[in-house]
Amino acid sequence: MTYISQILFFISLLAVIYFFTKRITRIRKNIQLGKPEDRSDNPSERFKIMAMVALGQKKMFDKPLVAFMHLVIYLGFLIINIEILEIVFDGLLGTHRLFAPFLGTFYPILIGIFEFLAVGVLVTCIIFLVRRNILKLKRFQAYELTKWPRTDANIILITEILLMLAFLTWNASDSVLQQRGVGHYANVNAGPFLFSQFLMPLFEGWSDTALIAYERFAWWFHILGVFAFSVYVTYSKHLHIFLAFPNTYFSKLAPKGKFQNMPVVTNEVKMMLGLPAEPAIETAPETPQPETPAEIGRFGAKDINDLTWKHLMDAYSCTECGRCTEACPANITGKKLSPRKIMMDTRDRVEEVGRSLEKGGPGIEDGKSLIDTYISREELLACTTCNACVQACPVNINPLDIIIELRRYMAMEDAKVPGSWGAMFSNIENNMAPWKFSPSDRFNWADKLKETPVNGNKE
């Protein structure tokens, strides 16, 4: 029976490795659909940001209570997974609590720490379920959170609750079997443990056979649940568990509010102002090459292939927490814009294109686009470019960058912007000011100040 169990465990482990690797490979290819961008500068500064924002969750602590609960779940996820190592070795080798003899008296202490975190995760997940489904916090009821995103969040929370219950009851039933000296359980003297000892009375009246059956059921349920969770999470918003670290490492280091100007436009403005343009870097080929027409670059972004790989990584890293939308002044005043929806729509479009390419379909050439098909122009025009969404995001996602690129396409490629915008753009281009007067008359208003009485007296 032990050999059959080992074979089943080995097959389960191979299956989860296969599906997890396949999914991560697909996500990586999807992110690479974006344009290249160099974010390898200042590695020390980037590691610092990653440590503070991703690991230390610095930006979560503007709301200390919620931040603490989130930290409990986060640490529980990271630390309890150390315990999975022992379960994996036990499953492969056919052993039981392999680490107990080597760790000695420290083993119950270690399991006690895991149980402390498990109880914390259990309580916190219940609170989060109540906040979402009973208290119905406003940011979890927005129109972009359709049935699936809400269901996804509940599936994750309920799964974590069940996994923690399985872990605690497994330890409790195991401790009872140890005390009874049943079979191989008698060779392990590790329990009872910190919290599961209080569940042991639930199993005292059980027969040895029933107790062994439940202990094995809880063990299998816990490890198979963890395996299934690790694959499922790559399809859900909780992918940020993994992507928070690279996403914060590759954060934009420029000050918030500093836009990335388009070089071709910058040079044109410099030429208009009589300033030297930035020289283009040219590399002469060693052998003559046939002349080919230069590819005309697109102004702004119409679809995901016009965005950079970092924009697409941002989309996959979105936690759908809604902090960005909650802070957005346009959304607060009733406008259609939701930065969270911008990120969700971008991710949905990337997924759609990725699935098409995987099946040999048209990919990006499917007649759809990020703008219009997924994101309306009304949403984009409502943005005030205030950076509130960027500041609020706990994992340094930058929805504003995507909004700016889409608006650039609207203005410079489509020429579909409000009339007032078009007039302003024309004035800036011709008069170097938003107003329709000659640059030479720009300071005429200052002359009138000399004629204006101050406190009723001319000076």
Q: What is the CATH number of the domain that holds 339?
A: 1.10.1060
How much of the chain exceeds pLDDT 70, in percent?
93
pLDDT, position 141: 87
Rounded distance between C-alpha atoms, residue 161 and residue 118, angstroms:
9
Is pLDDT of 130 > 80?
Answer: yes
Considering the domain architecture, whether residues 103 and 159 belong to the same structural domain is answered as yes
pLDDT, position 292: 44
Q: Is residue 44 part of a domain?
A: no
Considering the domain architecture, whether residues 165 and 308 belong to the same structural domain is answered as no
3-state DSSP: the chain helix, strand, coil percent, rounded to 5? 70, 0, 30
Q: Is residue 40 part of a domain?
A: no
Q: Tens digits of per-residue pLDDT, 55-76? A: 888 888 878 888 888 888 877 7
Considering the domain architecture, whether residues 377 and 419 belong to the same structural domain is answered as yes
Nearest Cα to 73, choosing from 168, 161, 198, 134? 161
- Is the peptide bond prior to 192 cis by the omega test (within 30 degrees of 0)? yes
Considering the domain architecture, whether residues 215 and 351 belong to the same structural domain is answered as no
Confidence of residue 293 (pLDDT cuts 50, 70, 90): very low
Q: Tell me the average pLDDT of the chain.
A: 88
Is pLDDT of 285 > 50?
Answer: no
Considering the domain architecture, whether residues 170 and 235 belong to the same structural domain is answered as yes
Region 392-413 average pLDDT: 93
Q: Tens digits of per-residue pLDDT, 321-341? A: 999 999 999 999 999 999 999
For residues 157 and 129, the answer to whether their CB atoms sit within 8 Å is: yes
Nearest Cα to 163, choosing from 82, 228, 213, 95? 228
Considering the domain architecture, whether residues 365 and 398 belong to the same structural domain is answered as yes
Q: Which domain holds residue 307?
A: 263-272+299-436
Residues 6+ apart with CB under 8 A from 190: 97, 100, 107, 108, 111, 175, 178
211 vs 186 pLDDT, higher one: 211
For the chain, how many structural domains are there in total? 2
pLDDT, position 3: 84
Q: Tens digits of per-residue pLDDT, 339-356? A: 999 999 999 999 999 999
pLDDT, position 335: 94
pLDDT, position 294: 40
Is pLDDT of 33 > 50?
Answer: yes
Q: Is residue 174 part of a domain?
A: yes
pLDDT, position 443: 77
Considering the domain architecture, whether residues 268 and 223 belong to the same structural domain is answered as no
Region 16-30 average pLDDT: 96
HSE-up of 10 (CA within 13 Å, CB side)?
A: 9
Considering the domain architecture, whether residues 144 and 224 belong to the same structural domain is answered as yes
- Cα–Cα separations (whole angstroms), residue 137 to 141, 307, 323: 7, 33, 12
Considering the domain architecture, whether residues 10 and 107 belong to the same structural domain is answered as yes
- Cα–Cα separations (whole angstroms), residue 363 to 268, 348, 352, 356, 371: 35, 13, 8, 5, 16
| Count of other CB atoms within 10 angstroms of residue 226 | 20
Considering the domain architecture, whether residues 351 and 424 belong to the same structural domain is answered as yes
pLDDT, position 1: 62
Considering the domain architecture, whether residues 242 and 353 belong to the same structural domain is answered as no
Q: Tens digits of per-residue pLDDT, 216-266? A: 999 999 999 999 999 999 999 889 888 999 999 999 998 887 888 877 777
pLDDT, position 287: 47
Q: Is 390 helix (H, G, I), strand (E, B) or coil?
A: helix
Confidence of residue 297 (pLDDT cuts 50, 70, 90): low
Region 354-374 average pLDDT: 94
Q: Tens digits of per-residue pLDDT, 75-112? A: 777 777 778 899 999 999 999 999 998 888 899 999 99
Considering the domain architecture, whether residues 425 and 374 belong to the same structural domain is answered as yes
pLDDT, position 282: 45
Confidence of residue 415 (pLDDT cuts 50, 70, 90): confident
Q: Is residue 368 part of a domain?
A: yes
Is pLDDT of 413 > 70?
Answer: yes
Is pLDDT of 314 > 90?
Answer: yes
Q: Is residue 459 part of a domain?
A: no
